Amino acid sequence: MDNTEKYSHWEDIASYDLGTAEAMFDSGRYLYVVFMCQQAIEKLSKGLYVYYTNLEATRTHNINIVLSPLFQEGSALHAEISTFKNLYAPFFAELLAYYISERYPSYKERLSSAIGPEQANSVLQRTKEAFKWLQSQKK
């Protein structure tokens, strides 16, 4: 597979995860909405990483760690660094907390009671916006 095909694979599974987040919202499973939002952005980010670096995706769930090399001085997406740092990096850090909460029961209980329909919808809408922005970064 070339880098474009690898990117497409990551994009397909990321889109599936985003659709799953929407289905979880419709069924009222709000903790899973935010978890699947994290998964969708992580996978699309890994697709961009593979596309631009010609390396396998970094083995981490931290979206900012995956994306940071792509926005460094001299890199393919450096022109977008302020958008990344100011608009999306803080949101991606928030998404990491949702991944961690799903994997660790003590966090899951606390977060589960804090994620209601308004919070889940907010995360879902911001994820859709970030997803489109990330897709636009594939030149």
Query: If you write DSSP's letter for every residue of 72-97 in order, what string do you get?
Result: STTSTTGGGHHHIIIIIHHHHHHHHH
Buried-state track 70-82, b at ≥16 Cβ within 10 A, e below 16 = bbeeeebbeebbe
d(CA 121, CA 74): 37
Structure confidence at residue 123 (pLDDT)? 97
Q: How far apart are CA 15 and CA 21, in angstroms?
A: 10
Q: Could you state, in order of their start, the residue ranges of all structural domains in the chain?
A: 3-136
Topology given in CATH for the domain delimited by 3-136: Four Helix Bundle (Hemerythrin (Met), subunit A) (1.20.120)
Taking only the tens of pLDDT, the chain with its 139 residues reads 899 999 999 999 999 999 999 999 999 999 999 999 999 999 999 999 999 999 998 899 999 999 999 888 888 787 888 888 888 999 999 998 877 655 556 555 566 667 899 999 999 999 999 999 999 999 8
Q: Are 41 and 14 in contact (CB under 8 A)?
A: yes
Sequence-distant (6+) residues with CB within 8 A of 115 are 30, 31, 33, 34
The token pair at 130 is 């970030």
Count other C-beta atoms under 10 Å from residue 133's C-beta. Answer: 15
Predicted pLDDT of residue 58: 83
- What is the pTM for the complete model shown? 0.89
